Each structure stands twice: as structure tokens, then as C-alpha cells.
Chain A
Amino acid sequence: MTDRATDPHPSTVTVMLVDSADVSGSVGRAGFLESHLRPHDAGGSVVEVITVSGGRCDVLAQRLESAHSPDLPVPAELATWFGDTTAPVQLPDSMAVLVLSMADALTAGVWRHRTTGVLVQPPPDRAEIWSAQAEEWLVDGFEPVPPDSDLLTAGVGNIAKHLEPLDAALVVLNTSTYVPGEEVFWYMPDDPETRAIRAARINLVADRLIPDLGLTVVDVDRVMAELGAGESVAGPAQYTTDALEVLAEEALASIRDLPRIHRDFSSDAMRLAVPRYDRRTERGVLTRWHVDTGALVGKGDPLFDLRFDGIYAHLDATGENAGRSLFLSVVAGRAGFVDTITVPAGGAVEVGTGVGVITVAAGTQWDDIENAAAFPVGVKVETRDGQ
């Protein structure tokens, strides 16, 4: 076995994805991570993506603890279902990242065996596919386990505990608190919790664990809100294909920023590209550069300004900002040197097109920039008079 502590470049870096709809529809799409996490050179590390069947965090924690879990007397007809939720999960030595979704805490029901304490997660559509006998077996032998905050906190904490010896990172996708059709004016003390409130509790669990566990939270709630949750959220923790594509980029940026992934897969030269603002903006003008070639930029430093045609027209239509233009100021997401500027101020741009090259070290030689990783950026919105 390779000594992980002394070998800076293990040949395989494993990213494990917990297969829920948001993960599988974003970074879990076939070949997505493999194509975006590419080695520096022919002898460099390669990424291996493993998918494990979906599960709420406390169920997954149990599966990681599988050596200590008692066997469950599962009836033969349900072995397929429960095999998934009780089967042990073995973390490989090459484990670098586990991507977990909190969506199952919102949408899936978990039951605890009354005597053994084993958790199971029946399929969400069990009412349609299970026999009456199977349902009776579940209700007799198990009790439902609501996703209360303490339970979820313990679940994520236990997962992190298993990752720590491997120096592997935990990336958590939280969940949108927008639930279509769930408009509530009155909250009554005895009413069941709305799904939006439950989603807010789930997201708070993840947020509170950030400083303690050092986990990375991909703020799905914000991503969907930026896209307009009315359009991007189809149901509880269900997102449109377009929204999942944006989420994939967001999650990828977070994964790339993890130290181990960055060390093994970040190119010395990165492509500085026009970020997506929202679905309605595709083309615009790069109005101003804030930096010159050769400049060293740090996280948060302004790089360039954009004006998107769609936004300008929208503001004119509302009249509220008459005489003002909305500008997007693109800022650096990490440090680097501005090596090359390929689109000058005043040039037309499209979302995703490259406008320059950023290198990790000054004077770095590079080629094939179109296939290089994108330099992480943030976007700030501002209005300016008379432009």
C-alpha cells in the first residue's frame, strides 16, 4: 500500500458521491468530474469517481460503521431495497472527497428497527411498489425517525469522523428552502412542520457544522434563489436540468478548491472566463479591466466589469433605475498572476468565453488553455449613474 503521508502524488484520487438526485444530476453526471479534474501530466494522479446509493446522513453514517452494525433479519422480498440502505460502505485508501446531499433529509423517510436500532430508508414510492405484507412488516418492526437537528448533526459528524483518518474532505450540498405550492401565512403550534421550515433547519445544521468539522457547504439554497427558485425548483429538493448544470459548476468550484484536489489537479495556468450571471444573460460587453497583465491578484480583487444586454434592457423597462446601468464586477476567487488578456475593454463576450489567462506563478509557460481549468471568480452587482 502507498504511504499516503510521504507520497505527494498518489496515482488515484477517489471522489465518492452519495447518489441523490441533486448530486447525480450535477457533479454526478457521467464523466463530469473525470473531464474537469485532469492530471497535470501523463504521470499525474487520476480521479476515480465512485457512487454509493443515496441515503440520509444518519443512514450513511451507519453504513460507514457497518462493522459494528448488527445484522438485520430482512425478508427476502425486501432484501434488494434494504440491501442498499444497510450494506456497508468501505472507504478506499485513496479517498479524497465525499460529496453528500442533505436532500434526503427533506424527502426521504428513515425508520429504526425497534430492537436492533438499525436504520433503514425504504424507497419513497414504497406505497406503489410494496405489498401489504411488506408494509406491515415495516410498521410492526420499525418506528419512523424524523430528521431532527440533533440526529442530522450526529449523522454528519459521524461521517466526518470516518473521513478524518484518510484526510478526506466532506462536501455537503444543502437544499433549497423553496417548495413550490407551499405558501404559508399562518404557522400554528400544532401543525406539522412545513417542508420549507424543515429545509431551513437542515441547512442550519450544515452551516453550524462548518467551523467544527471543516466541511464545505455548497449553498444550493442560494444557487436556486439566484436562478429564481420559481423557475429552477420543480419540487422539494428537485431542480431543473438547467439549474443542475449551474449547481454542477458551483460544486465543482468548491471541490477544486479543496487542498488535495487543488494540489493534484489544478493546472498552473487557468482560463479566465466570463461567468454566468443568470439564465437570461448570454452576451454582453467587457466594459473595463481593473488589472493589467503581470498583476498579482488575490481573492476578492476586481478583475473586470461586464454589462449584459439583457440586464440593461430589463432595467430600462422597469423605470426604477432609469438612467442607470447595472454592472457586474468580476472578482478573483483565489490568488494568481494575470498572464494574458485576450479580450480588451469594449469587446463583446459570451458566457463561458475566455477573456484571459491566470497562472499560479509569474512567467509560467502554458499551452492548450481552452482545456485548462477555469479560474474561480465571484460576481458583484452594482449600479452606476450615467453609463
Chain B
Amino acid sequence: MASKPSLKRRTLKLVRKTFGDRSALELGGRSLRNVVKFRTGSPIERRDFYAVRNGSGERFGVFGIGGCDVTAITGAGPLLSRAHRGTLCVGSFAKADHVRSDLLVQTLDPPDPAVTREVVEKLGLIDHYFSPALFDPTFRVPDQQGLGEFPKNVVVLSISADTARTVYRHREHGFLVDPGGWWLTTDMATVLDDLSVTKWFAKNFVTARRISLEDSMANFERIITEVRKRTGAFVVLMNVLTVDPGSSSLDYMHANSPHRVRRREFHLAVAELAARTNVALLDVDRIAKETGISRQADFVHYTPDQKRRMSEQLARLLISEGVIGNGRG
């Protein structure tokens, strides 16, 4: 016999029924609950961040930015907390449609807000889409303002968006934007009923296509330089799985496979970039292959087993390099 839903679940159901999913009340309640947990020393674990207060030492922050793949670093939190007496946060900003390298470089010289305001509104972008948030010396966990600010002691940069995303250029003002999955994640009836945004986008933007390997690496080199200069962070590059999980055994016959080729090209270029800029590399390609890719849906979504290994490797790197622990951090 099914058990009766708990009081917590019934309350949540009532709140959602009254105010809708992810209402300010629901998010505020969660945030408050997490702050209480955090202040009492309990870790807060979510897919995209881990935070814990472990004694009265300094704050230490690991900030990851990339596509869905970058959530693989969150599991490093519990491991790093053993090496750090103080407050720790491992946060991953996993938004593939915000983080292609040319979009990040663009934030260093942002377009006029008067021009971009309409774009932010119509495409439902986050408020700081055109702001250089990556290069700020601190970060906050979205929806968890009560946890406070964390320094960017470590910045993990994933290249996955550069291998896959297409961005668009404003015909008049020249700035770039990735509209993301707006047309796909919005109810189809809504989209078809009102095509004004679609028409507006088509009128004002033109595709800038996928980024070239050379441009991407030049952008990342600049990003690494600026992140180091503005935050003092220890920078880690994260590569990407080069093979296609679940592909049919016969799809190589006399066919070009541009995605696989492109990812292999990026894989080699990132190793060269890491050497050139003296940046550590989290080799997720190797870890994913070693663990087994057959349960992956695609090249950028990793399984729990793979994520655990990636987090372990990141923690091992940061501890062995003395970035955290041994009195540092």
C-alpha cells in the first residue's frame, strides 16, 4: 500500500498549486532552509553546487563554467572539504548557451545595455548575460544568496560549448548571442501562436556559425589570462569526450563525421593550449572512456560513475598541487 505523502511534500504541493512551480515563495523557502543547514555545519549538496561550513577558516571557492558536463566537478566538494578547514563551495555554472568562448570574451567589452535590453527580454536571457561575471573575483550560488560570496580560488573552464554551439550576430550592432533552446523548450502552441519573437530574431540576427578551432583557442588563451589577472585563480581546463556514445556500428561507411572530427581536433588543441599557458587539464575524455561510455546519452552528459571519477581527479589535482589544504585556502 502506498504511504501517505509527508507534510513537507504536501506543503510543497499546495505551494506549487497556489503559486506555480519554482515560485519566489518556493525558492525563498528552499534558500532559507539551506542557509539554516549551512550555518549549522551540514553540507548542502545539489547537482550544480556543494557548500559546507567546516570550522571558522577562510572561504574557498571552486567555480566551474561550461555546458552540462561541468556539473561533473560538484562531487569534488565532499573530498575537498576534508582538506580544508573553513567554508567551501564548489559551484558549476552549467549553461551551454551562455558560455561559448566568444560570448565570454565579448563580456570583457560588453555591448551597450540600451541595445541588449530588448534581446535579454525577448530571449529570456539571464540579467548578466552580457556582463563579465566570469572575471569577477567572487561568485554566488544562484538562488542561494544567503550563503554569501565565495572567492574564485579555482576556475574550471569547459570547452564543450565551443565544440557544439552555434551563435548569432546582431546585424546592426555586431554583438553575439546564443538563443539557446528557447524555441524548443517553450510550449509549441505558444511559439506558433506568436511568431513575433522568431521573426524579430530572424530579422535582427545572422548566424555566426560554429567557432573555428583557431578562434576558440585564441579566446580561451585570453580568458585564461584575464581570469588569472582579475581573480588570481588556479585555472583548470576540461576537455570533452571525443567519441560518440551509442552510435550505430555502421555509420562510418564512406561518410564524414564532422562532430567526431571536430571534437578530436579540439581535444588535441586543448592539450597544446594547456601546455602553452601552463594550465592543468582535467582529462574527462580519458576518464569517461576508462569508466565506460555505453550508458551515456551523448558526449556531454556523463553518468554518475563518470562524474564521481572526474570529481575525484579534480580533488586529487587540487590537493596534490597544494591549491587547497596544507594550510592554503
Contact = CB atoms under 8 A, between A and B. Distances in A.
Partners in one complex: yes
Interface of A: 176-178, 183-189, 191, 196-197, 200-201, 203-204, 207-208, 210-211, 214, 216-219, 221-222, 224-231, 249-250, 253-254, 257-258, 277-278, 299-300, 311, 318, 320, 326, 331, 333-334, 376-382
Interface in B264-306: 264-265, 267-268, 271-272, 274-276, 278, 280-283, 285-286, 288-297, 304-305
B299 to A, nearest CB: 11
Given A210-B257, A318-B304, A300 B290 contact: no
A42 to B, nearest CB: 29
B189 interface: no
A200 B270 CA distance: 12
B128 interface: no
A208 B261 contact: yes
B256 A210 contact: yes
Contacts of A229: 289-290, 292
Given A186-B280, A278-B294, A376 B242 contact: no
A178 B257 CA distance: 21
B252 A216 contact: yes
Interface stretch (B17-25, B26-34, B243-251): B243-251
B292 A228 contact: yes
Contacts of A320: 304
A227 B245 CA distance: 11
B250 A200 contact: no
B182 to A, nearest CB: 24
21 contacts: A177-B286, A177-B289, A178-B286, A178-B289, A185-B283, A186-B278, A203-B264, A207-B264, A210-B257, A216-B253, A218-B252, A222-B243, A225-B245, A228-B294, A231-B292, A253-B250, A254-B249, A257-B253, A318-B305, A376-B249, A382-B297
A258 B253 CA distance: 8
A339 to B, nearest CB: 21
A7 to B, nearest CB: 24
B297 A381 contact: yes
A249 B250 CA distance: 11
Given A185-B280, A216-B254, A254-B252, A197 B271 contact: yes
B295 to A, nearest CB: 7
Contacts, number: 151
Given A200-B264, A210-B256, A222-B247, A381 B295 contact: yes
B290 A333 contact: no
Interface size grouping (class) on chain B? 35 or more
A249 B257 CA distance: 21
B260 interface: yes
A228 B291 contact: yes
Given A178-B290, A210-B256, A378 B264 contact: no
B242 A221 contact: yes
B255 interface: yes
B317 interface: yes
Contacts of A211: 255-256
Interface of B: 241-257, 260-261, 264-265, 267-268, 271-272, 274-276, 278, 280-283, 285-286, 288-297, 304-305, 313, 317, 321
A300 B247 CA distance: 10
B256 A177 contact: no
A178 B287 CA distance: 9
Contacts of A381: 245-246, 294-297
Contact of B251 (A178, A201, A231, A378): A378
Given A178-B290, A186-B274, 7 more contacts: A177-B286, A185-B280, A207-B257, A214-B254, A230-B290, A299-B248, A378-B251
B281 A186 contact: yes
Nearest to B261: A207
B295 A250 contact: no
Contacts of A176: 289
Contacts of B254: 210, 214, 216
Given A177-B242, A210-B257, A219-B243, A188 B292 contact: no
A258 B250 CA distance: 10
A230 B275 CA distance: 26
Nearest to B316: A185
A369 B286 CA distance: 41
A184 B313 CA distance: 10
A227 B292 contact: yes
A151 to B, nearest CB: 17
Nearest to B244: A222
Contacts of A333: 248-250
B293 A379 contact: no
A196 B268 CA distance: 10
Contacts of B264: 200, 203-204, 207
A320 B302 CA distance: 12
Contacts of A277: 294
Nearest to A180: B290
A184 B246 CA distance: 27
A217 B275 CA distance: 30
A76 B244 CA distance: 49
Contacts of A208: 261
A197 B244 contact: no
Contacts of B285: 177
A224 B289 contact: yes
B291 A204 contact: no
Contacts of A203: 242, 264
A14 to B, nearest CB: 20
Contacts of A230: 290-292
B77 to A, nearest CB: 17
